[in-house]
Amino acid sequence: MPRKDIKINEIPELHEKSKALLEAVNEARRDVYRMDNVIVRVNTNSNTAKIEPINQYELRHEVSQSARCIKKCPDNQGDWIYKEIHPPIDACRDAIASSCTALPKIKGVVSHPVVSVNGEISEKIGYDKNTCLYIDTNENIIAALRDIPDKPNENEIKKAVDSIWDIVADFKFKNEGSIAGFYALLLSLICRPSINDNMPAFVIKAATPGTGKTLLARAAIHIITGRDAVTANWETNEEELAKDMHSRLLAGQEYIIFDNINVKIKSGTIAQILTSGIFSKRILGQTKNQEVLCNSTIIFTANNPELSSEIARRCIPIELISDIEHPELRTDFKYKKLLEHISNNQAALLRSLFVMVQAWRASDKSYTGDNAILGSFSKWSRAIGGILNACGVIGFLSNHADFANTADTDTDICRQFFIKWYETHGGNPVSAKDLLGIAHELGIVDTRRSEQSQIKSLGRYIVKREGQIYEKLKIIPGSYEKGNRRYKITSIVGLCH
What is the residue-wise DSSP string for 397-455? TTTHHHHHHHS-HHHHHHHHHHHHHHHHHTTS-B-TGGGHHHHHHHT-S-TTS-HHHHH
Q: Which residues of the chain have pLDDT under 50?
A: 495-497
Query: Under the phi-then-psi rule, with left for phi > 0, alpha for psi from -120 to 50, and beta for the rest, what region is 413?
Result: alpha
CA distances from 337 to 161, 340, 343, 472 (A): 21, 5, 10, 50
Q: Kindly state the greatest CA–CA separation across the chain.
A: 104
Tell me what pLDDT residue 283 has: 58
Tell me what pLDDT residue 366 has: 59
Backbone angles phi, psi at 121, to 5 degrees: -85, 120
Q: How far is it, in rounded angstroms, from Cα 314 to Cα 397?
A: 12
Residue 314's CB: how many other CB atoms inside 10 A?
25
**What length is written for the chain?**
497
Nearest-5° angle of CA 168, CA 172, CA 176? 85
Its CATH architecture, for the domain 144-404, is 3-Layer(aba) Sandwich (3.40)
